[in-house]
Every structure is written in structure tokens, then in C-alpha cells.
């Protein structure tokens, strides 16, 4: 009986020693990160939850939110970390980036008549309407010239909250093309095709630089980075991706 009591006390002390942490994820980024029936799902979720389970000093809760809201949390310091942002110069002043987790390729989605005769990016797409998810980085998805064209009005940029909304607009002809990761599911939109690659980026866990409320931020990031490096070196991340895409 005494042994059981002591064991219970030790378990309780160990649990209390863990730092509770909330990490936010993009709820509309299939197949990488999304919410389904109130549960976090996706490739990044599988990778990160595996990593978090090995970080003995932390108990991590993953909460999925709209991307733009998640970015606002990190910018203001309302939240500690968000996945999976690409590195972009306009984020450097307010976001710290983790060890790269996955390399993603951004492609152009469009109908055959839009993609067939256009081979030069982004010059051949000037004068068209582009769709993007709100809060995504113009430079990271399409490069400096694309970002400049969107800001100058040479490309008419239209942003909505989700991939599903953009693909619907594309299939209905309300936009001419859409930029997102090459693994974006277009199965429900038979008129939509994948075109050329516009960028390759690494997804990260992005941390706030407003760290006053998070004295453990540096240690958490160090532990996370080391765990992700181990998972990459062992091939575990590659296996998670392959298993998820079967």
C-alpha cells in the first residue's frame, strides 16, 4: 500500500513539473494541417504530436485556428507558436522560426485554358485574377516579382479564408489561378489542374518574439529543434509523410 502511495505521489510530482503549452495550427491547410470533427489532423499534426510526446518537460495542447488569426496571435504575443509558416522576410521582425520541418512545393492551380499557353512565371499571368488564402505570404508563394505585381495591381489578388473557397472560385471562373502546395487535394474539382512550380519552401513552427509571458520559450524551441533534427536524421518524418499519403 505504501509503495502505491509513493508511486502516486511521484507521478503527481512529475505531472506538475511539466510546463503546459498551447501550440496553434492552421485549420484549413489539407493535407498538412486541418480540423475535422473538432480534432486536429494532418501531416504536420502527426509530426508535431510525435515530437511533443518526446519533450518530457512539456505538456503540449494543439489548437487549430484560422491562419490569419494564428498569425495575429504570434505577432501580438497572444500565442507562443503556430504551424506551419514559411520563412518570409516580412515576418522576421515578429516571428522566430524553428528547425525546418518539411519542404513543400508551391504550384499554380488553374484550368487547362489558363495554364496551357503560359510558361513564364509570373509575367504570363499579369492581368489575371489570382486567389490566395488570407494571411499567406505573397513572396513565399510566388516570389518577389509576383508580390510586386499583386501590390501594384498588375495581378488582381483576391484572398479568402480557405483552400476550399479558393478552389470553388477557381472552378466557377471567378479567379484565373490559385497558388498553394502541390499536394492540395483537388479531387472534388475536376476542371482544376496543377501547373508549374512557383516556389519551394520549408514549413516551420513559428514562435512569437513577444516572449514576456513565455519564460520557457527558448528552452522549448531548443528542445523542439533537437527533436525534429533527430526525426529527420532517422527518416521518421519521411515515413510519416509516406504513410499519410497512402
194 backbone φψ class: left, alpha, beta (φ>0; ψ -120 to 50): beta
Q: Rounded to whole angstroms, how far apart are CA atoms 99 and 199?
A: 19
Q: Rounded to whole angstroms, how far apart are CA atoms 164 and 74?
A: 25
Q: Rounded to whole angstroms, how far apart are CA atoms 109 and 131?
A: 10
- pLDDT interval class at 4 (50, 70, 90): low
Average pLDDT over residues 132-157: 96
User: pLDDT per residue over 58-100, tens digit each?
Assistant: 999 999 999 999 999 999 999 999 999 999 888 999 999 999 9
Average pLDDT over residues 158-179: 96
- pLDDT interval class at 244 (50, 70, 90): confident
Whether residue 146 is predicted with pLDDT greater than 90 in this model: the reply is: yes
> For residues 55 and 223, is the Cβ–Cβ distance under 8 A?
yes
SS3 196: strand
- pLDDT interval class at 243 (50, 70, 90): confident
Average pLDDT over residues 110-133: 97
Average pLDDT over residues 138-161: 97
Tell me what pLDDT residue 13 has. Answer: 46
Whether residue 118 is predicted with pLDDT greater than 60 in this model: the reply is: yes
Tell me what pLDDT residue 6 has. Answer: 45
Whether residue 245 is predicted with pLDDT greater than 80 in this model: the reply is: no
Task: Record the cell numbers describing residue 65, joined without a space.
Answer: 485556428
Report CA 58 to chain centroid distance, whole Å.
22
> For residues 51 and 13, is the Cβ–Cβ distance under 8 A?
no
- pLDDT interval class at 56 (50, 70, 90): very high
Q: Rounded to whole angstroms, how far apart are CA atoms 163 and 93?
A: 27
User: pLDDT per residue over 6-18, tens digit each?
Assistant: 455 445 444 568 9
Tell me what pLDDT residue 16 has. Answer: 61
To the nearest whole percent, how much of the chain has pLDDT over 70? Answer: 93
Which are the contacts of 112, defined by CB distance < 8 A and separation ≥ 6? 191, 193
In the chain, the domains with their CATH numbers are: 18-101+204-244 (3.40.190.10), 105-201 (3.40.190.10)
Task: Record the cell numbers describing residue 238, joined without a space.
Answer: 519521411
- pLDDT interval class at 211 (50, 70, 90): confident
Amino acid at each position: 500500500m505504501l509503495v502505491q502511495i509513493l508511486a502516486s505521489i511521484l507521478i503527481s510530482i512529475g505531472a506538475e513539473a511539466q510546463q503546459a503549452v498551447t501550440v496553434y495550427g492552421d485549420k484549413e491547410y489539407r493535407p498538412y494541417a486541418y480540423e475535422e470533427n473538432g480534432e486536429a489532423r494532418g501531416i504536420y499534426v502527426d509530426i508535431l504530436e510525435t515530437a511533443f510526446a518526446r519533450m518530457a518537460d512539456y505538456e503540449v495542447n494543439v489548437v487549430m485556428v484560422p491562419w490569419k488569426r494564428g498569425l495575429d496571435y504570434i505577432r501580438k504575443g497572444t500565442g507562443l507558436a503556430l504551424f506551419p509558416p514559411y520563412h518570409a522576410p516580412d515576418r522576421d521582425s515578429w516571428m522566430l522560426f524553428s528547425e525546418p520541418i518539411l519542404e513543400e512545393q508551391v504550384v499554380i492551380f488553374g484550368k487547362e485554358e489558363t495554364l496551357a499557353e503560359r510558361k513564364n512565371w509570373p509575367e504570363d499571368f499579369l492581368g489575371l485574377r489570382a486567389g490566395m488564402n488570407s494571411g499567406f505570404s505573397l513572396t513565399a508563394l510566388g516570389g518577389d516579382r509576383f508580390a510586386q505585381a499583386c501590390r501594384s495591381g498588375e495581378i488582381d489578388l483576391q484572398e479568402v479564408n480557405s483552400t476550399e473557397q479558393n478552389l470553388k472560385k477557381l472552378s466557377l471562373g471567378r479567379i484565373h489561378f490559385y497558388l498553394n502546395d502541390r499536394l492540395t487535394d483537388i479531387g472534388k474539382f475536376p476542371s482544376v489542374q496543377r501547373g508549374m512550380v512557383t516556389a519551394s519552401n520549408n514549413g516551420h513552427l513559428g514562435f512569437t518574439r513577444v516572449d514576456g509571458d513565455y519564460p520557457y520559450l527558448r528552452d522549448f524551441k531548443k528542445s523542439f529543434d533537437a527533436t525534429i533534427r533527430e526525426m529527420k536524421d532517422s527518416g521518421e518524418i519521411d515515413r510519416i509523410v509516406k504513410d499519410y499519403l497512402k
